[in-house]
C-alpha cells in the first residue's frame, strides 16, 4: 500500500512538472515595466464635494455615463461604476442625500422602514433605472425600474427629486407635460399622472430648473411649478431676447442663468441680480448659503463668494491663480469648506470643470490637483521620434556634409567623429560645454533601439497631449478652442509632416479640423516635442474640407505637404510652395448617405492646381437604400517584406499587393434577410471593382483590418447570434504581372481570392494589425473585446488557406487544419489584468527594433505597451550571462595565444632535428 502511494506521488509530481513547464506567463517583476495605464471617468456633469463628514468625498457623474468617487486630496479614483453607452446608460439625475434639505432626511426612507439612500441615480429611459448606492464603497443597495409605454417620447424625459419623492417629467413637445411622482426608494406611485397643457414647449428652448419647467419665448420667461396642486403659467419679461442658451442654477430652486446673470422665474425668489459670470454654484460657508462664481480675466482664474440672501461678498472665499490657456473656459461645479476655528476660508476646496474636459481642484489660490479627462475620448495618436542628445547633436553639426567616399575617407571620418565625440563628452564633464537643452533636461532623448518616443494624442474636445510613451508623463498640453469633427461624422485628423530624423530641423505635426462657428476648415501646425506652434500655428481656411491627403514626396525642408479638396472639388496644398509635388496624384471621395464613390486626377499647370473627374461608382443598390458604413485603406507606412508565399512544390504564389486597393462596406435592410452587408474591394485610381461579396443576415458592429494582400473584418451574425471574423486573401498566381512597380492604370489579371469565416467567442470592439519597420516580423491581429482585454492572434490562426483536412501538403506549408472556433488563450491577452473599460481604439506603430511593435489602446481608459509578435529575436534576453560569455572569450583568447606559442616552439624544435 505504501509503495502504491509512493508511486502515485511520483506520478503526480512528474505531471505537475510537465504542466508547470508548459505555462506561459508574465513574471511579477515585468508588471508595468514595459506598459502603463491611466484610469479616466470622462467629462464632468455633476459634482458634490463633502469635507466635513465621516469620510471626505467627492462624488461625480460624467457625460460618459459614469458615476465615481474621487479623493478630494489627490483626485484619485476610489471607485467608479461604468454604465451602458448611449441613451440606455445616460445619467438623468444624481442626488446625494446630504445635498437635500433637512426635511428630506427622514422622508427618504421606504414606507415602514428607516432605510433610505446615500446616493441616488436615474439612468436610461427604456427602461429607466432608479438605483441607490453606497457612496463609500460604490455598491448597489437597491433598484427599481420604470418602463415607458412610448419609447420614442421617453428619450427626452426629465427627473427631479423633492421631499423624498422623485418626479418623472415627460414632455410631449408642442403639446403637453406628463408629471408622475414616485416614492424615491420604493418606486410606488403616489397618485395619477398629471397632464399639463403647454403648447409652447420645445426641446431647444426649455430646461428643468429645480421644480420649475422653464422655457424662453422671445423676450419672455414662461415657467410651470410642477409640484403645485394646480400648476399655473408664470410669465416674466426679460427685456431683451437672450443670446446664449439658458441653463439652470444648481442648488437654488427656480433660478436660471440668462446671458451670464441670475434670474428668478418668479419675482418672490431672491437672486443677486448684480452678479455677472460664466458659471455659478451654491454651497455653504459659516452656516450660510453662498453663491460662488468663477471667471477668467487676464489669464487669471478668479473665484468669488457672495451670501445668497444679501449678495454681500465674502472675502475669505476669494481665490486668484494663474490659468493656463490649455484649460479653456471654466465652469465651477461644487465647493465645500472644512470647519475650523478661524473659518478663514483656507480649508475650502473648489471643483471646476473646463471646456477641454479637465477637472481642476483649487484651494488657497493654488491648483490642488488636475485630472485630464479628455483622454477618455481619444480619436488619433502618433509616435514621434525624439531628438538626439546634446553631444550627438553637436557631433552631427560638425560632421554635417562630410560623407565617406572610399575606405580611407570612411576610416578618417570614423576617427575624427570619435575624437569630436570624446571632446564633447570631456567638455560636458568638466562643465565647459554648452548648457543642456530643455528636451535633454526632460529626458526626451532618442535611445539606441528607438523604443523611447513622444506619444502625441488628439482628443475629441480638441485637446492635444504630448506624453512620454515609457513613463506616461505629460510633457505638454495645448487646446484648440472652437473646433469639432467634420460634418459627415469623420473625426479630426493628426498628421506628421516632418519627423525628428532631419537634424537640426525639428519635427512638425498638423491637426486638421472644422470650425464650430463657420464650418470651414482649420489647420494647426506645432512642434510635437515641445508643443509650441510652428510654421505660423493656427490657419483658418475660407472653405469647407471635403477630402485630404498627404503628398508622397517631401520638399527641400523635408516637409510633406497636405493636399485638401473643398466642397467644390477644388484643391489646395499647404505649404503652398509644394504645389508642384501634387501633380499627377489621384484622390477619391466617398458619400456615405448616397453610397457613391468618385475619383479625381490632380493636375498642376500654369502654377494652378485643377481636378479632373475620372470615374464614379454607385454602390447604393437598385433601390438606392445601401449606405456606406466603413471605408478601410492600407497603412501608408506599411512595408511588405515578402512578395510571395512559398508552396510545398517549391513554387511561389505571388501576393496581390495593390497599394491603391480600398475596402468599402455597405449595409441595407431587406424584407427577407433583415440585414445585408456588401464588401467591395475597389482600386481607387482606376475605379475598377476587384472583388465583391455579400453577407446575408449580418449587421454591425463592423471592425476592419486591411493590410498587405489580406483583409479581416469582424461582424455580428444575426441568424446564429454570434460574432464572426471573415478573412480574405488575394494572390496574383504563380506568375507576377509586374515585379518592379505597381500600376493601377494597366489592367492586371483578376486576383485569386481565398476566403474563410471563423467564430470568435466574444464581442469585438476594435481590431488592428501589428506593424514593424521592415515588415520582416510576422503579423499578428490585435482584437479588442467587450470585456476590456486585447487578444493577440497570429495571422496563422486567421489564414483563409487553412486546409479543411490535415493533408501532407498542408503540413509542409505550415498551415494548421481549419477549426471554426478561434481560441482566446489568456496568455495571449497583452494587457493581462489591466482591463480597459469601453475599449474602442487600438493604434500600432513600428519601433527601432524590427521585432518590436508599439501599441496604444484606448477607450474610457488608456493602455500603452509594446509587443513582439515573433519574440525578440534581435535582442539579447534580460537574463543573458555577460560574465560567463566574457570568461569564455578570455579563456579562448588566452588558449589560442598559448597554443600558438607552443606550436611555434614545436615547429622550431622539429626544424633543428
Per-residue 3-state assignment (H helix, E strand, C coil) for 639-666: CCCCCEEECCCCCEEEECCCCCEEEEEE
Q: Find out whether 581 and 591 touch, Cβ atoms under 8 Å.
A: no
Q: Report the C-alpha gap between 78 and 59 in whole angstroms.
A: 10
> How far, CA to CA in Å, does 482 sit from each of 295, 355, 853?
19, 10, 35
Q: Looking at residues 100-126, what average pLDDT do you find?
A: 62
Least confident window among 328-337, 526-535, 806-815: 806-815
pLDDT at 25 (0 to 100): 56
List the grid coordinates of 469: 510613451
Residue with cell 409640484: 227
pLDDT at 706 (0 to 100): 96
Whether cis (ω within 30° of 0) applies to the bond prior to 701 is yes
* Phi (first) and psi of residue 53, to 5 degrees: -80, -170
Most confident listed range (443-452, 506-515, 730-739): 506-515
Q: Find out whether 451 and 849 touch, Cβ atoms under 8 Å.
A: yes
Q: What is the 3-state secondary structure (H, E, C) of 523-571?
A: EEEECCCCCCEEEEEEEECCCCEEEEEEEEEECCCCCEEEEEEECCCCE
pTM, two decimal places: 0.88
The residue among 793 and 502 whose pLDDT is bigger is 793
**Residue 99 pLDDT exceeds 70:** no
Most confident listed range (17-26, 152-161, 741-750): 152-161
* Phi (first) and psi of residue 654, to 5 degrees: -80, 140
Residue with cell 512559398: 646
Residue with cell 446608460: 89
Q: Find out whether 452 and 365 touch, Cβ atoms under 8 Å.
A: no
- Of the pLDDT bands very low, low, confident and very high (cuts 50, 70, 90), residue 397 is low
Least confident window among 110-124, 126-140, 322-336, 567-581: 110-124
> How far, CA to CA in Å, does 744 sit from each of 547, 618, 711, 749?
21, 20, 19, 11
**Residue 23 pLDDT exceeds 50:** no
- Of the pLDDT bands very low, low, confident and very high (cuts 50, 70, 90), residue 2 is very low
pLDDT at 380 (0 to 100): 96
**Residue 182 pLDDT exceeds 80:** yes
List the grid coordinates of 412: 578618417
**CA nearest to 135, candidates 122, 121, 124, 114:** 121
- Of the pLDDT bands very low, low, confident and very high (cuts 50, 70, 90), residue 560 is very high
The residue among 646 and 343 whose pLDDT is bigger is 646
Q: Please tell me whether residue 890 adopts helix, strand or coil conformation.
A: helix
Q: Find out whether 82 and 150 touch, Cβ atoms under 8 Å.
A: no
Q: Looking at residues 689-715, what average pLDDT do you find?
A: 93
Q: Find out whether 39 and 77 touch, Cβ atoms under 8 Å.
A: yes
- Of the pLDDT bands very low, low, confident and very high (cuts 50, 70, 90), residue 110 is very low
Q: Find out whether 813 and 799 touch, Cβ atoms under 8 Å.
A: no
Q: How many CA atoms lie within 13 A of 897 on its CB side?
A: 5
Q: Looking at residues 384-413, what average pLDDT do you find?
A: 67
> How far, CA to CA in Å, does 706 sit from each of 490, 628, 661, 713?
19, 17, 9, 8
> Which residues touch 877 (CB under 8 Å, ≥6 apart)?
none
Q: Report the C-alpha gap between 29 and 38 in whole angstroms.
A: 20
Count the Cβ atoms, other than its own, within 10 Å of residue 334.
25
pLDDT in tens, 433-450: 666 666 766 777 888 888
Q: Find out whether 511 and 545 touch, Cβ atoms under 8 Å.
A: no
Residue with cell 413637445: 173
**Residue 37 pLDDT exceeds 50:** yes
List the grid coordinates of 901: 606559442
pLDDT at 613 (0 to 100): 94
The residue among 777 and 430 whose pLDDT is bigger is 777
Mean pLDDT of the chain: 87
pLDDT in tens, 650-664: 888 899 998 999 999
pLDDT at 856 (0 to 100): 97
> Which residues touch 1 (CB under 8 Å, ≥6 apart)?
none
Q: Please tell me whether residue 822 adopts helix, strand or coil conformation.
A: coil
pLDDT in tens, 761-770: 999 999 999 9
**693: Cα separation from own chain's centroid:** 32
Q: Looking at residues 773-788, what average pLDDT do you find?
A: 93
> How far, CA to CA in Å, does 251 sit from each of 255, 283, 288, 670?
9, 8, 13, 51
pLDDT in tens, 892-913: 999 999 999 999 999 988 888 7
The residue among 417 and 220 whose pLDDT is bigger is 220
- pLDDT above 70 covers a percentage of the chain that reads 89
Spatial strand order in the sheet of 358-363: 330-337, 348-354, 358-363, 366-372
Note the residue count of the chain: 913
Least confident window among 78-82, 177-181, 597-601, 805-809: 805-809
List the grid coordinates of 328: 479653456
Q: Residue-wise over 47-70: b if at least 16 C-beta within 10 A, else e? A: bbbbbeeeeebbbbbbbbbbbbbb
**Residue 369 pLDDT exceeds 50:** yes
Q: Report the C-alpha gap between 846 and 632 in whole angstroms.
A: 20
pLDDT in tens, 246-290: 889 888 888 999 988 899 988 888 888 888 888 899 888 888 889
Q: Report the C-alpha gap between 509 and 383 in whole angstroms.
A: 11
DSSP for 569-611 reads S-EEEESGGGGGGGTT-EEEEEETTTTEEEEEEEEEETTEEEE
**Residue 630 pLDDT exceeds 60:** yes
pLDDT at 813 (0 to 100): 66
**Residue 104 pLDDT exceeds 50:** no
pLDDT at 755 (0 to 100): 93
pLDDT at 115 (0 to 100): 53
DSSP for 459-495 reads ETTSEEEEEETTT--EEEEEE-TTEE--TTSPPPEEE
**15: Cα separation from own chain's centroid:** 45
Residue with cell 479638396: 565
Q: Find out whether 258 and 276 touch, Cβ atoms under 8 Å.
A: no
DSSP for 295-364 reads EEETTEEEEEEEETTT--EEEEEEEEEE--GGG-SEEEEEEEE---SS--STTEEEEEEETTSEEEEEET
Q: Report the C-alpha gap between 785 and 825 in whole angstroms.
A: 13
Least confident window among 320-324, 437-441, 514-518, 787-791: 437-441
Tell me the β-bridge partners of 358. Answer: 372
Amino acid at each position: 500500500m505504501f509503495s502504491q502511494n509512493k508511486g502515485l506521488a511520483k506520478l503526480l509530481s512528474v505531471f505537475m512538472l510537465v504542466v508547470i513547464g508548459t505555462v506561459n506567463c508574465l513574471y511579477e517583476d515585468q508588471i508595468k515595466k514595459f506598459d502603463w495605464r491611466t484610469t479616466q471617468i470622462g467629462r464632468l456633469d455633476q459634482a458634490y464635494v463633502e469635507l466635513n463628514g465621516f469620510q471626505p468625498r467627492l462624488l461625480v457623474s460624467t457625460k460618459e455615463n459614469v458615476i465615481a468617487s474621487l479623493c478630494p486630496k489627490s483626485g484619485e479614483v476610489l471607485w467608479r461604476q461604468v454604465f451602458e453607452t448611449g441613451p440606455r446608460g445616460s445619467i438623468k439625475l444624481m442626488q446625494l442625500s446630504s445635498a437635500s434639505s433637512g426635511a428630506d432626511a427622514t422622508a427618504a426612507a421606504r414606507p415602514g422602514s428607516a432605510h433610505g439612500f446615500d446616493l441616488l441615480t436615474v439612468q436610461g429611459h427604456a427602461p429607466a433605472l432608479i438605483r441607490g448606492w453606497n457612496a463609500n464603497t460604490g455598491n448597489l443597495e437597491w433598484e427599481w425600474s420604470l418602463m415607458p409605454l412610448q419609447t420614442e417620447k421617453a428619450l427626452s424625459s426629465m427627473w427631479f427629486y423633492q421631499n423624498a419623492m422623485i418626479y418623472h417629467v415627460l414632455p410631449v413637445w408642442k403639446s403637453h407635460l406628463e408629471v408622475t411622482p414616485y416614492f424615491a426608494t420604493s418606486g410606488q406611485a403616489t397618485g395619477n399622472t398629471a397632464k399639463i397643457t403647454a403648447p409652447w414647449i420645445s426641446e431647444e428652448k426649455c430646461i428643468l430648473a429645480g421644480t420649475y419647467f422653464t422655457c424662453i419665448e422671445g423676450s419672455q420667461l414662461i415657467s410651470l411649478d410642477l409640484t403645485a396642486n394646480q400648476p399655473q403659467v408664470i410669465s416674466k419679461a426679460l427685456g431683451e431676447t437672450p443670446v446664449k442658451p439658458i441653463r439652470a442654477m444648481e442648488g437654488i430652486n427656480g433660478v436660471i442663468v440668462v446671458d451670464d446673470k441670475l434670474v428668478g422665474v418668479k419675482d418672490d425668489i431672491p437672486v443677486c441680480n448684480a452678479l455677472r459670470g460664466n458659471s455659478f454654484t451654491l454651497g455653504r460657508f459659516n452656516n450660510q448659503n453662498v453663491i460662488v462664481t468663477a471667471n477668467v480675466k487676464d489669464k487669471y482664474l478668479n473665484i468669488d463668494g457672495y451670501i445668497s440672501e444679501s449678495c454681500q461678498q465674502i472675502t475669505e472665499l476669494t481665490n486668484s491663480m494663474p490659468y493656463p490657456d490649455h484649460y479653456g473656459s471654466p465652469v465651477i461645479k461644487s465647493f465645500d469648506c472644512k470647519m475650523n476655528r478661524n473659518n478663514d476660508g483656507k480649508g475650502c476646496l473648489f471643483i471646476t470643470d473646463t471646456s477641454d474636459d479637465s477637472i481642476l481642484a483649487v484651494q488657497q489660490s493654488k491648483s490642488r490637483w488636475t485630472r485630464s479627462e479628455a483622454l477618455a475620448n481619444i480619436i488619433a495618436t502618433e509616435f514621434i521620434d525624439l531628438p538626439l542628445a546634446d553631444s550627438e547633436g553637436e557631433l552631427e553639426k560638425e560632421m554635417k556634409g562630410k560623407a565617406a567616399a572610399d575606405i580611407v575617407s570612411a576610416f578618417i571620418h570614423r576617427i575624427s567623429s570619435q575624437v569630436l565625440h570624446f571632446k564633447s563628452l570631456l567638455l560636458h564633464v568638466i562643465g565647459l560645454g554648452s548648457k543642456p537643452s530643455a528636451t535633454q533636461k526632460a529626458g526626451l532623448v532618442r535611445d539606441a533601439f528607438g523604443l523611447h518616443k513622444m506619444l502625441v494624442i488628439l482628443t475629441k474636445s480638441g485637446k492635444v497631449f504630448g506624453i512620454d510613451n515609457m513613463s506616461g508623463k505629460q510633457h505638454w498640453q495645448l487646446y484648440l478652442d472652437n473646433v469639432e469633427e467634420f460634418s459627415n461624422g469623420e473625426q479630426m485628423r493628426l498628421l506628421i509632416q516632418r519627423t525628428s530624423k532631419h537634424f537640426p530641423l525639428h519635427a512638425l505635426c498638423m491637426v486638421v479640423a472644422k470650425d464650430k462657428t463657420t464650418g470651414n476648415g482649420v489647420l494647426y501646425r506645432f512642434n510635437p516635442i515641445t508643443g509650441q506652434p510652428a510654421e505660423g500655428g493656427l490657419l483658418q481656411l475660407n472653405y469647407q474640407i471635403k477630402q485630404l491627403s498627404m503628398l508622397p514626396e517631401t520638399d527641400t525642408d523635408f516637409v510633406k505637404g497636405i493636399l485638401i479638396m473643398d466642397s467644390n472639388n477644388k484643391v489646395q496644398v499647404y505649404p503652398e510652395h509644394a504645389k508642384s509635388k501634387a501633380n499627377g496624384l489621384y484622390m477619391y471621395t466617398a458619400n456615405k448617405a448616397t453610397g457613391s464613390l468618385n475619383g479625381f486626377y490632380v493636375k498642376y499647370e500654369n502654377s494652378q492646381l485643377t481636378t479632373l473627374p475620372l470615374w464614379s461608382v454607385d454602390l447604393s443598390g437598385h433601390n438606392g437604400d445601401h449606405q456606406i458604413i466603413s471605408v478601410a485603406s492600407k497603412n501608408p507606412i506599411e512595408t511588405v517584406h515578402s512578395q510571395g508565399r512559398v508552396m510545398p512544390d517549391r513554387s511561389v504564389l505571388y501576393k496581390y499587393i495593390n497599394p491603391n486597393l480600398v475596402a468599402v462596406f455597405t449595409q441595407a435592410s431587406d424584407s427577407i434577410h433583415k440585414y445585408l452587408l456588401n464588401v467591395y474591394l475597389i482600386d481607387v485610381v482606376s475605379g475598377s471593382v476587384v472583388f465583391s461579396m455579400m453577407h446575408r443576415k449580418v449587421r454591425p458592429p463592423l471592425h476592419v483590418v486591411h493590410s498587405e494582400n489580406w483583409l479581416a473584418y469582424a461582424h455580428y451574425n444575426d441568424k446564429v447570434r454570434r460574432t464572426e471574423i471573415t478573412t480574405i486573401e488575394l494572390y496574383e498566381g504563380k506568375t507576377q504581372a509586374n515585379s518592379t512597380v505597381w500600376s493601377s492604370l494597366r489592367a492586371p489579371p483578376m486576383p485569386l481570392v481565398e476566403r474563410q469565416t471563423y467564430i470568435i467567442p466574444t464581442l469585438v470592439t476594435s481590431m488592428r494589425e501589428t506593424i514593424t519597420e521592415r515588415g520582416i516580423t510576422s503579423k499578428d491581429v490585435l482584437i479588442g473585446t467587450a470585456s476590456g482585454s486585447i487578444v493577440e492572434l497570429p495571422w496563422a490562426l486567421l489564414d483563409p488557406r487553412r486546409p479543411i483536412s490535415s493533408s501532407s501538403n498542408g503540413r509542409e506549408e505550415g498551415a494548421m487544419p481549419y477549426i471554426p472556433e478561434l481560441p482566446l488563450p489568456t496568455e495571449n491577452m497583452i494587457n493581462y489584468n489591466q482591463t480597459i473599460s469601453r475599449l474602442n481604439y487600438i493604434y500600432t506603430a513600428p519601433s527601432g527594433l524590427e521585432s518590436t511593435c508599439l501599441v496604444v489602446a484606448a477607450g474610457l481608459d488608456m493602455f500603452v505597451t509594446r509587443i513582439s509578435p515573433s519574440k525578440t529575436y534581435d535582442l539579447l534576453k534580460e537574463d543573458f550571462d555577460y560574465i560567463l560569455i566574457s570568461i569564455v572569450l578570455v579563456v579562448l583568447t588566452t588558449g589560442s595565444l598559448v597554443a600558438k606559442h607552443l606550436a611555434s616552439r614545436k615547429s622550431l624544435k622539429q626544424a633543428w632535428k
